[in-house]
Structure 1
Amino acid sequence: MNFEIIDNIFQVIVFSLIVVADIVCWFLHKNRLYIILALAHSCFMMGTLYFVLYLVIRGKVPQFFYVSEISWIASYLFLHSYQIVGYKGQRMKISVIPLICGIGVAIISIWSGIFGPAILSTGVFTLAAGAIVYISVFQILYGDAPYKSSICILLCIILQVSLYISSSFFHDYTRFNLYFCIDIVLTISMAMLLPCTFMEVGKDDVH
């Protein structure tokens, strides 16, 4: 069987389970961070689901998979919202190191042509990725609150960009290779946002 199908089915299953867990945590703790996580995870899952269904039904990778692109970008926009809500009340300022990291990721995203000819999709992802990296690095270096989720989100962005870069070097998707290794680690990293959030959010911290 095409390993790309196996990889994507694994991703859909993991994200489906984690979305259910996100919703359960929201019911238990009533913190909107869990709902934002559920939206981020479900968007990623739906993008992958469309991709794998197209692959299974049509027998080929969609050449212009805007549905998947929109879903994946929406997932990262929700992660950015997660940061804004989670770090609300903490003072942010322009800092050199986070700024360099954010701009660096943005430049790499544009250079790699992360969404191919889809300029709008690439632009939106680039802006979102740059902002997410800036906030994550700032929180890790200067934040007072626990920053496990910041590390996790930063890792997700790095892995996502690395995934698209690696796709330029690997074209045989029938066998396991570095591309799938990165994708599996990305899936696990996205899922780990839930336990990170659970550890950082107090039971009485209701939003």
Structure 2
Amino acid sequence: MELINNLLQFLAALLGFGLAGIRYWKKSSQAYFLLTCFYGCFTLGSLYWTLYLLLFSKTPQVFYVSEFGWISSAIFLRILQYTLSSGEERSFKCNAAWLSLIIGVPLFLFFCSYGDILSNLLWCGMMIIISYSSIRGLAYAEKQIGCEKNMKYFHIVVLCYVAAEYALWISGCFWQNNSFLNPNFWFDILLTCCILWLLPATRRAVVS
């Protein structure tokens, strides 16, 4: 099941990379360039993990190779958030955005009991920053009218991406069996869907 999930994620990211690259080639938009970088880094991380599973039939022992690609993709996603947002959105006051810290910090402490502190600090730190920006952006977009309201779809997909990552990590701490009954399988599918949905969501945000 792990091989199937990672293969699907690799193909989804590769498809996104190709489509986003085509959009960038046609539009020469910085947003599509950043999205292409997001997909490219995610694809490279998934490629190493998938090939290792395919060749050795077990989880990679040196997972930092994949994590480098995945963390880089999260950094590009954050830059994409910043690029798409306006100055008014970035200065918008939203108390609900602090939920990112209320949820993220306890999860960071929890994950540290299962894994590497530095890796968890990087991942949870990025997820907190990304979710904070998207909660604030979603609240701001809901108050807008016309095309500017389309930014909410981008923020919703990003929040789903963060939620899927958190859920995947939590389930990985409790369930290790490799079957359809493992929540990891379904959270991986959800993450794959979020990766695919990011392209049309970004397209709507760029149009706005």
Structure 1 and Structure 2 fold alike (TM over 0.5): yes
CA gap 1:124/1:87 in 2 versus in 1, 3 angstroms: same
Offset of 1:178 from its aligned partner? 1.9
Counterpart position of 1:97: 96
33, 36, 41: which one aligns with 2:34: 36
Counterpart position of 1:161: 166
Offset of 1:103 from its aligned partner? 0.3
Unaligned runs of 5+ in 1: none
Single out whichever of 112-121 and 47-56 deviates more from structure 2.
112-121
SS at match of 2:25: helix
Unaligned runs of 5+ in 2: none
172, 178, 187: which one aligns with 2:177: 172
Relative contact order higher in (CA < 8 Å, ≥ 6 apart): 1
Distance in 2 separating the partners of 1:53 and 1:181? 21
SS at match of 1:121: helix
118, 123, 126: which one aligns with 1:125: 123
Alignment map for 1:1-207 (pairs within 5 Å) = 3-90=1-88, 91-99=90-98, 101-113=99-111, 116-143=114-141, 144=144, 145=148, 146=150, 147-175=152-180, 177-202=182-207
Offset of 1:97 from its aligned partner? 1.3
Distance in 2 separating the partners of 1:168 and 1:69? 17
> Would you say the 8 A contact 1:136–1:150 is kept in 2?
yes
CA gap 1:136/1:22 in 2 versus in 1, 3 angstroms: same
C-alpha RMSD over aligned residues = 1.9
Offset of 1:33 from its aligned partner? 0.7
Q: TM-score, normalised by structure 1?
A: 0.88
Offset of 1:94 from its aligned partner? 4.8
> Percent of aligned positions with the same letter in both sequences?
28
Q: Aligned residue pairs: how many?
A: 200
4+ runs deviating over 6 angstroms: none
CA gap 1:108/1:25 in 2 versus in 1, 3 angstroms: farther
Q: TM-score, normalised by structure 2?
A: 0.88
> Would you say the 8 A contact 2:154–2:201 is kept in 1?
yes
Offset of 1:95 from its aligned partner? 3.2
User: Given residue 65 of structure 1, which amino acid in structure 2 is its aligned partner?
Assistant: F
Distance in 2 separating the partners of 1:51 and 1:111? 26
CA gap 1:112/1:42 in 2 versus in 1, 3 angstroms: farther
SS at match of 2:174: coil
